[in-house]
Amino acid sequence: MPKDTKKIAIIGGGASGVAAALTLANRGASVTIFERNERLLAKFITTGNGKGNLANANVSSSCYNHGEKIEKHLPYLYSEVVNFYKSHGVALFLDEVGRLYPYSKNAKASASILISKLEDLGVDIRLNTNVDSVSKKGTGFLVNNEYFDYLILSVGSSASISSVPLDNNNSTLLSSLALETTSLVPVLGAIKVKENLFSIENERRDISMSLYKDGRLLATEIGEVHFRKNALSGVITFIISSHLVWAYKIDSKAKHDIRINFLSSMSEKEIKEVLKLDNPIRSLFSERIAHYLEGRMKKDKISLSNTLTNLSFTPIIKNGALFNHVTNGGVKLELIDLDTLSSTKDSHLFVVGEVLDIDGLCGGYNLMFAIYSGIVAARHILTEVVN
Ligand SMILES: Cc1cc2nc3c(=O)[nH]c(=O)nc-3n(C[C@H](O)[C@H](O)[C@H](O)COP(=O)(O)OP(=O)(O)OC[C@H]3O[C@@H](n4cnc5c(N)ncnc54)[C@H](O)[C@@H]3O)c2cc1C
């Protein structure tokens, strides 16, 4: 594409915006990124505890809410994202369960590589520049009083920034583009529960955690739970929190409950033997957990075996202030052509990344979709404007 013929604005310099910018600029497009932060990829560098869990090789529709709506893309998500990083000079490492990381295990180093590429390609990067609203001019847009032919909206979410509301202070911007959102709920975080866990706060335990809807099993994860004073936390809880919110949005009236099996590592035979011990609870748990379980057994009038293998917790789903990694909900998918990620009403407007009503499980699925969606939108703009 001859430079300066068509101008493309990208609002938001996170993973999705940067992926779109690089894809466009590699083909000579004139790209401007508007970023409210003082740096690009600010969230990206904090991901995966600083290591950056970039993608996951095991992709299926059940890894995303509305996964069935992006079914066509699923076979390409992983390979496109791998190619993206490799072609920009980020060496990769795939772990034994399919999680992809930078070989450096350092998201900051990977971010620096991508940002240098943007600079080398002459992308106009406007840092500390918030975009409050956008207006239409002809087929294009006025962004902060400047004309652009195409607009990519990649404003992400406020996940993990507790001082910023769930709408990421972008409701005026989205309204100016006639983009409505579904309700926003924090996910991939601790799950608040009705039960008081103060007496076992900060205890950790290897367990299996299952989510039930009206008594029907929806999901199970095995790993460590971290008890907080009014919440369950830990990586397995983060995954269950996504399933919980997805299920809740489908049917908010159903009874959702979380059950913990404290003996998930034991065979049935071992469990039977343990239950025959004089005081199984005291012999299996720390004093604090034992005391809590005895209290629950008495209060809920449940058997010892149920207490140890099927202890129920009632989740509270609301805009909790507990730390979360992702925001569920976003721009309504019926407003978007999911093949190209352009607006169904405006073929020059594209919406990518977490601001869309698509979120994935813990394990690299969110960054993978952010990067992939940026690439898809950019490619579509290129096919429209080249020639
Ligand atoms: C602590 C943490 C760890 C995570 N770890 C992982 C992980 O290991 N693997 C994984 O897959 N996912 C992880 N995630 C989720 C993942 O980081 C996000 O889903 C992904 O970064 C979303 O990318 P995005 O580009 O859509 O949005 P964002 O990264 O949110 O970027 C949006 C950008 O737009 C800017 N912006 C917003 N509004 C405006 C405006 N009006 N004007 C100008 N600029 C604006 C913001 O400042 C931001 O830089 C993690 C999230 C957190 C918070």
As a whole number of angstroms, the distance between CA 87 and CA 116 comes to 14
The answer to whether residues 24 and 134 belong to one domain is yes
* 252 within some domain: yes
Pocket test for ligand 1, best of 43, 151, 162 (most atoms within 8 A of CB): 43
As a whole number of angstroms, the distance between CA 183 and CA 168 comes to 13
* 372 within some domain: yes
The answer to whether residues 174 and 35 belong to one domain is yes
The answer to whether residues 301 and 334 belong to one domain is no
The pLDDT, as a whole number, for residue 3 is: 45
Question: Which residue range is the domain that position 254 belongs to?
Answer: 191-313
The answer to whether residues 95 and 36 belong to one domain is yes
Residues touching ligand 1 (Cβ under 6 Å) are 11-17, 34-37, 42-44, 46-48, 53, 130-131, 154-157, 159-160, 168, 170, 173, 325-326, 353-354, 364-368, 370
* 309 within some domain: yes
Q: What is the 3-state secondary structure (H, E, C) of the chain?
A: CCCCCCEEEEECCCHHHHHHHHHHHHCCCEEEEECCCCCCCCCHHHHHHHCCCCEECCCCHHHECCHHHHHHHHHHHHHHHHHHHHHCCCCEEECCCCEEEECCCCHHHHHHHHHHHHHHCCCEEECCCCCCCEEEECCEEEECCEEECEEEECCCCCCCCCCCCCCCCCHHHHHHCCCCECCCEEEEECEEECCCCHHHCCCEEEEEEEEEECCEEEEEEEEEEEECCCEEECHHHHHHHHHHHHHHHHCCCCCEEEEEECCCCCCHHHHHHHHCCCCHHHHHCCHHHHHHHHHHHHHHCCCHHHHHHCEEECECCCCCCCCEEEEECCECHHHEECCCCEECCCCCEEECHHHECCCECCCCHHHHHHHHHHHHHHHHHHHHHCC
The pLDDT, as a whole number, for residue 387 is: 45
* 2 within some domain: no
Domain-ending residue, one of 313, 343, 358: 313
Domain-ending residue, one of 263, 283, 313: 313
**Residue 5 · residue 149 · CB < 8 Å:** no
* 1 within some domain: no
The pLDDT, as a whole number, for residue 5 is: 78
Domain-ending residue, one of 313, 346, 374: 313
The answer to whether residues 26 and 162 belong to one domain is yes
The answer to whether residues 197 and 269 belong to one domain is yes
* 321 within some domain: no
pTM of the model: 0.93
The answer to whether residues 39 and 148 belong to one domain is yes
The pLDDT, as a whole number, for residue 321 is: 47
Q: Specify the pairing of strand 150-153 against strand 349-351.
A: parallel
The answer to whether residues 89 and 39 belong to one domain is yes
The answer to whether residues 26 and 118 belong to one domain is yes
* 220 within some domain: yes
**CB 72: neighbour CB atoms within 10 A?**
9
pLDDT tens per residue across all 387 residues of the chain: 554 479 999 999 999 999 999 999 999 999 999 999 999 999 999 999 999 999 999 999 999 999 999 999 999 999 999 999 999 999 999 999 999 999 999 999 999 999 999 999 999 999 999 999 999 999 999 999 999 999 999 999 999 887 898 999 999 999 999 999 999 998 888 999 999 999 999 999 999 999 999 999 999 999 999 999 999 999 999 999 999 999 999 998 999 999 999 999 999 999 999 989 989 999 999 999 999 999 999 999 999 999 999 999 999 986 554 568 999 999 999 999 999 999 999 999 999 999 999 999 999 999 999 999 999 999 999 998 754
The answer to whether residues 360 and 309 belong to one domain is no
The pLDDT, as a whole number, for residue 161 is: 84
Cα 96 to averaged position of ligand 1 atoms, centre (Å): 26
The ligand 1 atom at the shortest distance from the C-alpha of residue 42 is 49
The ligand 1 atom at the shortest distance from the C-alpha of residue 355 is 26
Q: How many domains does the chain have?
A: 2
Pocket test for ligand 1, best of 367, 368, 373, 375 (most atoms within 8 A of CB): 367
* 322 within some domain: no
Nearest to 343 by CA among 133, 153, 146: 153
Q: For residue 381, what are its two tokens?
A: 């703009």
**CATH number, domain with residue 381:** 3.50.50.60
The ligand 1 atom at the shortest distance from the C-alpha of residue 360 is 11
The answer to whether residues 296 and 176 belong to one domain is no
Q: Burial, 144: exposed, middle or buried (Cβ in 10 Å; 0-12, 13-18, 19+)?
A: middle
The answer to whether residues 347 and 381 belong to one domain is yes
Degrees to nearest 5, angle at CA 323 with 320 and 326: 90
